[in-house]
A and B are shown apart, each in its own frame.
Chain A
Amino acid sequence: MNQFQYVRPAETSGAIKSIALDTNAHFLAGGTNLIDLMKMGIIAPERLVDINNLPLKTIENIPGHLRIGTLVTNTQVAENQFIKENFPLLSMAINAGASPQLRNMATTGGNLLQRTRCPYFFDTTMPCNKRVPGSGCGALEGYNRMHAIFGASDKCIAVNPSDMNVALTALNALVHVSGPKAARTIPFADFHRLPGDHPELDTTLQKGELITSVDIPTVPFTKNVYYLKVRDRSSYAFALVSAAVALNIENNTIQDVRLAMGGVAHKPWRLIATETFLKGKTVSEETFKQAAQIAMEGAKAYEHNKFKLKLAPNALLQALKTASGLKA
């Protein structure tokens, strides 16, 4: 097998020092994605820094925020009673993803960093600019049914596969990172990148930086929320499209709203313009239909994913209807 160093530091500072020792080093948390990538020959790290002993496993309720340690598992987040009551959108999104076995292993930080499921990324005999920069994009003129309709480039049309990320971007989460330089906080919308000319970079995380926690500001979205995931089978399938909707409705008027979509872009796709449109509007099917059309501005499809141009607004419309309690 490929030889690699394996270390399991007990302190965050030790982990950050350790990751800097090799140019080809990876942090290992739940391993649900990283180990697959190693087995498929997509990455061959020289050093694995196992962070499972780090004290980053708590969910803390601090004034104005909820703080989720990077090692808290997806199951622990989704099943946490406080989160279910105060951030139900997050629970719903996590439970729409993967399988119970995977959610039991997968961590919060790891979910933020999972790689795309584009088949050309996964097959080392095929071209992929994300895996081998400059080798070309196999999906652009290939099998691109699962691919992006927003924000793609001619270098990469892959999508971010996470459901949790879609909820987190809607919830204006903040990502805390530590690294060789000073610790910093990255707004969720700035954490994932669009592919541009550098699809090999999924995020704005700098070399050697470690996600330590994710903060979610306290929000009024506890009741009128919904995460709708449309997929090829009822579970254990990536989203064709998904829609995260959080509404704060008073007297049938939308006081505040957050919207995001999954399965449509290289990053979880926040719908700011649509949110602006909906704010202050009265709940009605007609308004939601208009919102769904606004959400699609700038969409562009490829040979096999043209259906997303219709499915995405339909899914958003349905999620808005369900979240608001509007009947069919």
Chain B
Amino acid sequence: MKKDAIGDSLSRVDGRLKVTGGAKYSGEFKITGLTYGVLVPATITNGTITSIDTKAAERAPGVLKVITYLNATKVPGYQPDESKPASKGLKLFNDNKIHFNQQPIALVIADTFERATYAASLIKATYQKEPFKTNFHQNIDNSMVPQGGNYKDYIRGEADAYKNAPVKIEQAYLLPSEIHNPMELHVTTAFWNTDGKLTVFTKSQGVISSQKAFANAFKIEQSTVQINSRFVGGAFGSSLRTWPHEIAAAQAAKMLNRPVKLTLTREQMFTLVGYRPQTIQKMGIGATPDGQLVGITHESLSQSAVYEEFTERSVNVSRFLYASPNANTRYKVVPLHVGVPAPMRGPGEATGAFALECALDELAYALNMDPIALRLKNYADADPEKNLPWSSKYLKECYQKGADKIGWEKRSSKPGTNREGDWLVGYGIGCGAFGAYRNKAQAYIKLLADGSVNIKSATSDIGPGTGTSMVLIAADILKISAEKITFDLGDSSLPEAPTQGGSATVSSVGSAVHDVCIALKKKLNTLTGKPENNEDLDYAKILKQQNLPFIELTQGSEGTDEAKNYSMYSFSAHFVQVHVHALTGAWRIKKVVAVVDAGKIVNNKTASSQMIGGAVGGIGMAMTEEAIIDDRFGRLVNGNLADYHVPVNADIPQIEAIFINKPDMHTNPLGTKGIGEISLIGVAPAIANAVYNATGKRIRELPITPDKLI
């Protein structure tokens, strides 16, 4: 019997399946009669299709069907009706409009993937081209306040108060578009059963939201859609929503009355499943000579798509992270003829933290003040935006532990003066915050005669080790060994759980698992006539005594209204040591220390792994990743993994994750706050600030490639 399983270091419960190939991903299910779909991309950027010649493709060996807007059966949910407007977003094969380059114009279905690929190359289209806009900077004048959501200007105190401060920084920070690029391609396999039910294997961060999306598209009962997504080979936000090509796979399966597997190519992964949008952020930040903040102004302009608006919370961090009496933010989007963006790990909060934390670093140098001292001077003891106490905040401890670990005392306060041979040495800090969200979730538990336990919830695991954490939570509450517990997820027939995103899975699903385990114990105590809180339970024995083969129950966790009384965030401080070659601009990140206040840590091992993954993503964001469009054609020029650079192993140094690991008493019964996003937020500014400390070069446009450092 194990005590206090929460906080342990448990290896992934599905690790063996993953490394032995036993884990089956969406593209790996052998289904009788399976057919293969390949999308054909448009070669213009805006306009209409005037003709599509599909004859050669249709005659090609093995081809079963070529679907275009001319012959596609209408997707009911794409059609507007009186009751509600048509669903948002791109509607594939619904009309002849082209909104962005490489938008699919046809779907070829054949008996093999190779034959479908070849036939797709034979399709020829003619177009009526229209003028298009893909250049973000040239179209900033067309920026607009988002139509959906609350993106009104925020003002606390006086707007643009920084302008009157004795010391001020006024700078713009640029992020390029970045592509999620999970290892696993997006694959959807769909088939319709004879009773009209739809089964889909797809890469999904939320099987219930996928289920709803398919049900809405085909106007069928949600319960008649079965979504399976037990294993996901990375997603980073690219599978938060159901994409048009997933609907197209089901549409094709219906038209053919056969199962269809649609796999995106790596090139299509660059245009069809979202990306972190290109953003320009104008920062104004001012302080008194002793470093007291006077005002922060944060304005963000972000790329969006002409056919669908995309927004994120890039400016929000400047409202609450520091105790500035005056703060104001503005947020606008620039609609372009590009595929629609999607949240990418950390999402807008990571974008915003890059601008705020770099500007703060610039201010520290202008004040001749240590960047940590400046942060401490303006430490927010309560949330200045919501005017609420924090549910918990240990950011000061983060500063201290990180500074100790990175060797902050070795940092030179004069940039460009710390040298090791030809290499310039620099240190930097970048902080971040991400909301500690919690959503409704349900969990089912079944206690079996041998005392083993199976728990189920329709959550997902895109990599953090969700099942492993849930097993630990159950082991902790039931006081049984983790080996006796199994956890099922990634299946829409299981009890409802939210989409895995926004770092909220442990808070939401973990709370449901917590609650269902407590409920089970209560039930057993009731059965045996013991007090409700009796902890001395021999599960197998009780079942035997009660002559029960098993006990099962389902419990929902509704969340809490504590968010009315407390402001809830995870906080982080990332510390980086970087070397930059004085002559060639080559860089080596030598060390990353990530210190996180994310409440109680459930599984130390997988949480550390998640922190490392987030830091790697942050290194890519800071140093290598940039999707480039040639605006003459509206096409990407580096839409492949050779020319779009994700960091390689050799770019990644020792990354150390340190958890404050103090439970938050207000978020949920487990005391957790979430780490998925905070692991990346703050990494890029920490690196950019370290690069400045090393070289004296302030790079405000990511990525920081060698050419910018010579």
Shortest B671–chain A CB gap in Å is 39
A119 x B581 contact (CB < 8 A): no
Whole-angstrom CA separation of A258 from B112 in the bound complex: 53
Residues of A within 8 A of B705 (CB): 232
Whole-angstrom CA separation of A318 from B585 in the bound complex: 11
Query: Dominant SS at the A interface?
Result: loop
A235 x B707 contact (CB < 8 A): no
Residues of A within 8 A of B624 (CB): 232-233
A204 within 8 A of B: no
Shortest B375–chain A CB gap in Å is 31
Whole-angstrom CA separation of A35 from B43 in the bound complex: 23
B149 within 8 A of A: no
A232 x B422 contact (CB < 8 A): no
Which of chain A's residues 296-315 have a Cβ closer than 8 Å to chain B? 307-308, 310-311, 314-315
A134 within 8 A of B: no
B584 x A314 contact (CB < 8 A): yes
B637 within 8 A of A: yes
A328 x B422 contact (CB < 8 A): yes
Shortest A113–chain B CB gap in Å is 18
Which of chain A's residues 207-239 have a Cβ closer than 8 Å to chain B? 228, 230-237
B193 within 8 A of A: no
Contact with B707, one of A1, A119, A311, A321 (Cβ below 8 angstroms): A311
Which of chain B's residues 664-710 have a Cβ closer than 8 Å to chain A? 705-708, 710
Contact with A311, one of B114, B584, B628 (Cβ below 8 angstroms): B584
- Residue of chain A at shortest CB distance from B706: A230
B633 x A307 contact (CB < 8 A): no
A197 within 8 A of B: no
Shortest A17–chain B CB gap in Å is 30
Residues of A within 8 A of B651 (CB): 233-234
Residues of A within 8 A of B588 (CB): 234
B710 x A233 contact (CB < 8 A): no
Whole-angstrom CA separation of A125 from B632 in the bound complex: 12
Please tell me the number of chain B residues within 8 Å of chain A, measured between CB atoms. 37
B421 x A328 contact (CB < 8 A): yes
B647 within 8 A of A: yes
A126 x B584 contact (CB < 8 A): no
B527 within 8 A of A: no
Contact with B43, one of A125, A142, A237 (Cβ below 8 angstroms): A125
**Given A232-B624, A233-B624, A318:B583 Cβ within 8 A:** yes
Query: Dominant SS at the B interface?
Result: loop
Residues of A within 8 A of B183 (CB): none
A230 x B586 contact (CB < 8 A): yes
Shortest B42–chain A CB gap in Å is 10
- Give the segment of B66-74, B134-142, B326-334, B638-646 that binds chain A: B638-646
Shortest B57–chain A CB gap in Å is 13
**Given A119-B638, A126-B635, A237-B645, A232:B584 Cβ within 8 A:** no
B584 x A318 contact (CB < 8 A): yes
A240 within 8 A of B: yes
A311 x B706 contact (CB < 8 A): yes
Shortest A234–chain B CB gap in Å is 4
Whole-angstrom CA separation of A266 from B92 in the bound complex: 42
Whole-angstrom CA separation of A328 from B650 in the bound complex: 25
Select the residue from B585, B588, B650 with max chain A CB neighbours within 10 A.
Answer: B585
Whole-angstrom CA separation of A41 from B706 in the bound complex: 33
B1 within 8 A of A: no
- Residue of chain A at shortest CB distance from B628: A143
Which of chain A's residues 93-152 have a Cβ closer than 8 Å to chain B? 117, 119-120, 123, 125-126, 138, 141-143, 145
Residues of B within 8 A of A141 (CB): 632
A5 within 8 A of B: no
Whole-angstrom CA separation of A73 from B238 in the bound complex: 39
A251 within 8 A of B: no
Residues of B within 8 A of A311 (CB): 584-585, 706-707, 710
A41 x B121 contact (CB < 8 A): yes
Whole-angstrom CA separation of A233 from B647 in the bound complex: 7
A119 x B643 contact (CB < 8 A): yes
Whole-angstrom CA separation of A321 from B635 in the bound complex: 42
A143 x B630 contact (CB < 8 A): yes
B394 within 8 A of A: no
Residues of A within 8 A of B114 (CB): 1
- Residue of chain A at shortest CB distance from B114: A1
**Given A123-B637, A143-B628, A235:B648 Cβ within 8 A:** yes
A158 within 8 A of B: no
B585 x A230 contact (CB < 8 A): yes
Select the residue from A145, A234, A236 with max chain B CB neighbours within 10 A.
Answer: A234
Q: What 0/1 readout, one digit per residue, does chain B (607-645) give for beta carbons within 8 Å of chain A?
A: 000000000000000011000101011010110001101
Whole-angstrom CA separation of A231 from B114 in the bound complex: 35
**Given A119-B638, A230-B586, A307:B710 Cβ within 8 A:** yes
A230 x B645 contact (CB < 8 A): no
Residues of B within 8 A of A126 (CB): 630, 633, 635
- Residue of chain B at shortest CB distance from A314: B583
Which of chain A's residues 236-281 have a Cβ closer than 8 Å to chain B? 236-237, 240
Shortest A211–chain B CB gap in Å is 25
B151 within 8 A of A: no
Whole-angstrom CA separation of A125 from B40 in the bound complex: 13
A315 x B584 contact (CB < 8 A): yes
Select the residue from A2, A232, A235, A240 with max chain B CB neighbours within 10 A.
Answer: A232
B550 within 8 A of A: no
B365 within 8 A of A: no
Q: What 0/1 readout, one digit per residue, does chain A (145-188) give for beta carbons within 8 Å of chain B?
A: 10000000000000000000000000000000000000000000
Whole-angstrom CA separation of A107 from B118 in the bound complex: 28
B648 x A233 contact (CB < 8 A): yes
Which of chain B's residues 30-78 have a Cβ closer than 8 Å to chain A? 43
**Given A119-B643, A233-B651, A138:B630 Cβ within 8 A:** yes
A-B contacts, 16 of them at CB < 8 A, read A1-B114, A117-B642, A117-B643, A119-B637, A142-B630, A230-B706, A232-B624, A232-B706, A233-B623, A233-B648, A234-B651, A307-B708, A314-B583, A315-B583, A318-B422, A321-B422
Residues of A within 8 A of B (CB): 1-2, 41, 117, 119-120, 123, 125-126, 138, 141-143, 145, 228, 230-237, 240, 307-308, 310-311, 314-315, 317-318, 321, 327-328
Which 5 pairs, one residue from A and one from B, show the smallest C-beta to C-beta distance? A234-B650, A307-B707, A119-B637, A314-B583, A328-B422
Using A142-B630, A236-B648 as known contacts, list a sample of 8 further A-B pairs with CB atoms less than 8 Å apart, ordered by residue number in A: A119-B638, A126-B635, A143-B628, A232-B705, A233-B624, A311-B585, A311-B706, A321-B422
